[in-house]
Structure 1
């Protein structure tokens, strides 16, 4: 019995699926088995129409197609092509499918189409080292070309697919890959890509020098940050511009972002521009962390991995959401458990929160009078618990911008500083940026000079810093030292880091 290789998605990893078929005497019928979804069940009509419209005779036999292993749920329209090929070659024993993986949705006239899940499936197979060659349509090939170490063959329709397996010379079907055409830097024989496109520029933000510098530190080291200030002082403006000065990304990160976009059923793009997700404060816990009654689905937290997760009007998010955020902020991963699945997501995002100083927003305003009493202000502040705030690296209080200064800074200037700090971190041998360093890496990379060590000891005693707070201060100081091109953390670096702690 001939077997065609395909695959299905199960949580965050792909599983190899063998498409098998038997043709026996009996009343003509066409059945697909193997814990299939409705989308696969409907492929019977697509396959039959595609073969008949291309002058193939549908065999008058009892046809049973099995998708093995049969104990795992499978879904997706990409099995169409593999099923059609099994039927087209049902009486040809000379055909060998070998280990070429076959993916493609069939239109009723036999043209092969791309589907959203193909890229994510092939990327996962490639990471597991399970795939060497793949047969897809051109639209799929354009997405897959950036995945290293796989050979891609392209066909347009069912006729091409049949000819592909009949011919010995498959070179004319081979897809010619194109390199990513973005600016890049080479560090330790690895390329990191970036795009200087500042559609929203920091030069548009009036004043707020401290907040601008803090946002640059947050981006350079991937540190969590909260902006507190009156309405209109520039919290959201600064946050939206942070995306454009984010550090470069390697090919693996670009592919991971594209994979998440594919699973989110959104447009896949292979751009070094990092993700920016901004859920509304009325969003449910399931939409943010992932949900589903039987199978785990991704939420905003997983989709923002490697990018920015922005919570505007932070205290208005539900208490359950804010408290559940503590684990992904600390461990950089989250486990979503459902009846049939348990899925672990990476959550190495940069968290940005923006909030008013009080319910009416005018507590820090120099022009408007605050209408809140002490109890209302305290109740508002208490929506953010101490354990949650302890996971924030930088806390910036912003004043009014009415007294504008002329010290304007552009996004390009800030990005150049971020790029400099990024190079230093990577040349130091760090796998993660400073904000995501482990306790062991903190001891290795966040070294203080003698003067700053004395100040750190005094700060621990005077401010009663927790172990987590000490690590946060050291990691922020390390990023500031990188921006200032200091090998060791100096007194000035440490004092600036301490100034960004919440009072």
Structure 2
């Protein structure tokens, strides 16, 4: 019995699947088994039509195709090609499918097509070193050519695929890879990519120098930030411009974002720009955390998650954010499975100072009483706020204010700070350092520890808050190209703490 290797998606990761076929005596039939989806069941008609239109005589036997292991649910149209090859080459004893993974949807005339699941499946298998040689159509080959450490063979149709496995010289089917054409820097032998395109520019924001400085720090160190200010002061504008000035991306991060785009049924663009997710405050808990489909938290990984009108999100969602903000991962438990998502995103929250938004206004009077303001602010719990590194109070907008820094200038300083962090041996940016890494990289001089001790007493800081201050101080020092955290860096970090 011959076996062809393929795979299926189990949530967001791939599981290897062995495609097996037998021909037995009995009434002619064609059956596919192994906990299959409707799309795979319909594969019978596509495969049969593709074989018949390519002059293949369907054997008058009972054909049974098994997708193993049977206890895993399987979905996707990419099983068409491996099933068709097994049937058409079953009697060819010299043909071997060993060391090849095969993916492709068949049209009725035998043409091979791409499917949305192929890219995330191959990327997932590559991460676990389970795949070496891939046979796909040209459209799929173009997408997966960005994935390193695999050999890609392209076939146009079913006849091409049959010829490929019969041929002793397979090199002519080898796909030539496409290189990234984006700007890059190389640190410790690893390439990091970035773009100099700023579709949303900080030049458009007048004034708000403190908020821009906080945005610069947040982008350089991947620090969570909350912006508080009156309506129209520029909170949303800052959030929209942050992805363009964030740190350069490794190839792994670019591919991970492309994988999420494919899972969302979007065409991957492979651009080194961080993803930005901004769910509405009326969104359900399942849409944020994930349920039967990917949630906003998973889609924001390696990017930015923006909550506008932060206090209007349900308390259950905000409290559920505590784990991903602290541990950079989220475990979603369901009836028959548990799924772990990486959540290394930069969280940005925006809120008004009161329900009407005018308590900080110089020209407009606030319509809220003290009880309403207290209720509004109490929607954000202390444990949630404790996980935010930067708290910024924004002033009212003024047309006379000037924009002193452009996105390009800010981005250049972020890249310099990024280089310092990676050259120092950090695997994560400052905002995502563990307690052990904080002790290693965020060293404070003995004479400056007194400042932290006084701040701990005066501001009633928790152990987590102190670590957040140290991480922000480290990022400020990196922005100033300082090897060590100085007193002024510590003082600036303390200025962004919640009062």
Q: TM-score, normalised by structure 2?
A: 0.99
Partner SS for 1:401: coil
* Contact 1:51-1:84 within 8 A present in 2 as well: yes
| Pairing of 1:26-175 with structure 2 (within 5 A) | 26-175=26-175
Residue 202 of structure 2 corresponds to 202
> How far off is 1:406 after superposition?
3.2
Aligned to 1:226, the other structure's residue is in SS state strand
Deviation at 1:275, TM superposition (A): 0.5
Work out the CA distance in 2 between the residues paired with 1:450 and 1:124. Answer: 47
Spell out the pairing of 1:8-27 with structure 2 (5 A cutoff).
8-27=8-27
Q: Deviations over 1:124-163 (max 9, x none)?
A: 1111111110000011001111111110000011110111
Cα distance in structure 2, aligned partners of 1:307 and 1:494: 27
Q: Tell me the alpha carbon deviations over residues 284-331 of structure 1, each in whole angstroms, 9 at most, x when there is no partner.
A: 000000013xxxx32000110000000001011011111111111011
Kept in 2: contact 1:452–1:489 (CA 8 A): no
CA deviation after TM superposition for structure 1 residue 403, in Å: 5.8
> 1:166: Cα distance to partner?
1.0
CA distance in structure 1 between the aligned counterparts of 2:214 and 2:429, rounded to whole angstroms:
16
User: Greater CA deviation, 226-235 or 405-414?
Assistant: 405-414
For 2:203 and 2:404, locate their aligned partners in 1 and report how far apart those are by CA, in whole Å. 6
The 1-side partners of 2:402 and 2:206 are apart by 8
Alignment match, 1:325: 321
Query: 1:58 deviation in Å?
Result: 1.2
Where in structure 2 are the equivalents of 1:298-447 lying within 5 Å? 298-402=294-398, 404-406=400-402, 408-447=404-443
Q: Post-superposition shift, 1:91? A: 2.5
Cα distance in 1 between the residues matched to 2:301 and 2:400: 36
Give the secondary structure class of the aligned counterpart of 2:49. Answer: helix
Name the CA distance, whole Å, in 1 between partners of 2:159 and 2:335.
Answer: 43
**5 Å matches for 1:132-281?**
132-281=132-281
Superposed displacement of residue 212, structure 1 = 0.3
- How far is 1:407 from its partner? 5.2
Counterpart in 2 of 1:467? 463
**CA–CA distance in 2 between the matches of 1:390 and 1:136?**
49
Looking at structure 2, the residues matched to 279 and 267 of structure 1 have their Cα atoms a distance apart, in angstroms, of 21
Deviation of the 1:408 alpha carbon: 1.7
Cα distance in 2 for partners of 1:237, 1:447 equals 35
Q: Any idea what the Cα deviations from partners look like across 1:409-455, whole Å, max 9, x if unmatched?
A: 10011001100100000011000000000001111111113442221
Counterpart contact for 2:205–2:403, Cα < 8 Å: no
Q: Name the TM-score, length of structure 1 as normaliser.
A: 0.98
Q: CA deviation at 1:199?
A: 1.1
Checking the alignment, whether the CA contact within 8 Å between 1:193 and 1:249 is kept in structure 2 is yes
Q: Which runs of 5+ in 2 are unaligned?
A: none
- Is residue 154–residue 173 contact of structure 1 (8 Å, CA) maintained in 2? yes
8 Å Cα contact 1:451/1:490 also seen in 2: no
What does the per-residue CA deviation read over 1:456-495, in whole Å, with 9 as the maximum and x for residues that have no partner? 1211122221000100111011101111112211111111
8 A contact 1:11–1:341 mirrored in 2: no
Q: How many residues get paired?
A: 499
Cα distance, 1:258 vs structure 2: 1.1
| Separation in 2, partners of 1:437, 1:263 | 29
Q: Separation in 2 of the partners of 1:197 and 1:406?
A: 22
CA contact 1:9–1:121 (8 Å) conserved in 2: yes
Other-structure match for 1:484:
480
- Whether contact under 8 Å (2:204, 2:403) holds in the other structure is no
Are 1:395 and 1:500, in contact at CA under 8 Å, matched by a contact in 2? Answer: yes
Task: Give the Cα–Cα distance (whole angstroms) in 1 for the partners of residues 149 and 205 of structure 2.
Answer: 45
Aligned-partner Cα distance in 2 for 1:71–1:454: 60
Q: Deviations over 1:196-232 (max 9, x none)?
A: 1111111110100000000000010000000000000
Query: Secondary structure at 1:348's aligned position in 2?
Result: coil
Tell me, what secondary structure is at the counterpart of 2:349? Answer: strand
